[in-house]
């Protein structure tokens, strides 16, 4: 069963899009079902698509030398990951592993680029959403770093 407009509307990245914009996005989504403990992508992999969670939970983590896996976050339905692949052409910066059986929506960078090129209003709306999300994540990271430095006695 393909991803539909109602499922897209539950994804924070798409929640403010108009119905006709959601229909356009739905046309380029691939659905993927993965079993628990499946590596969706690994740190260093080519980043050529992004994902959103329809069902299940996904762990984003990094391998820390001498310590093993460090979970950065657990994502749930409506959340997305790997979106930096849509913006920059750099390798993945973390691992994404399914914690449970997951149904994921996935959009290839090439199809996303084509969609935005042909639909400038959609491009504007999505890119501003990206800017707000990235700004929020940067602010959160700064707060975590500040707390870490305070705990380490460096601040």
* pLDDT value of residue 12: 87
Structural domain contains residue 37: yes
Structural domain contains residue 136: no
| Range of the structural domain that residue 42 is part of | 5-119
Structural domain contains residue 93: yes
* Integer angstrom CA distances of residue 71 from 14, 115, 123: 26, 33, 32
Encode pLDDT of 13-55 as tens digits.
898 899 999 999 999 999 999 999 999 999 999 999 999 999 9
Q: Is the pLDDT of residue 1 over 90?
A: no
Here the CATH number for the domain that contains residue 45 is 2.60.120.10
Q: Count up the domains in the chain and report the number.
A: 1
Look up the pTM and report it.
0.84
């Amino acid at each position: 069963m393909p991803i539909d407009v109602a499922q897209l509307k539950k994804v924070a990245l798409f929640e403010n899009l108009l119905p006709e914009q959601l229909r356009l996005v739905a046309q380029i989504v691939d659905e993927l079902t993965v079993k628990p403990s499946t590596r969706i992508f690994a740190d260093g992999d080519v980043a050529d698509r992004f994902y959103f969670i329809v069902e299940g939970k996904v762990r984003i983590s990094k391998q820390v030398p001498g310590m093993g896996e460090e979970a950065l976050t657990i994502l749930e339905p409506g959340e997305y990951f790997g979106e930096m692949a849509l913006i920059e052409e750099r390798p993945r910066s973390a691992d994404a592993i399914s914690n449970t059986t997951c149904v994921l929506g996935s959009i290839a960078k090439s199809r996303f680029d084509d969609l935005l090129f042909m639909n400038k209003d959609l491009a504007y709306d999505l890119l501003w959403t990206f800017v707000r999300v990235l700004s929020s994540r940067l602010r959160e990271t700064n707060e975590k770093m500040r707390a870490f430095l305070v705990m380490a006695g460096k601040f």
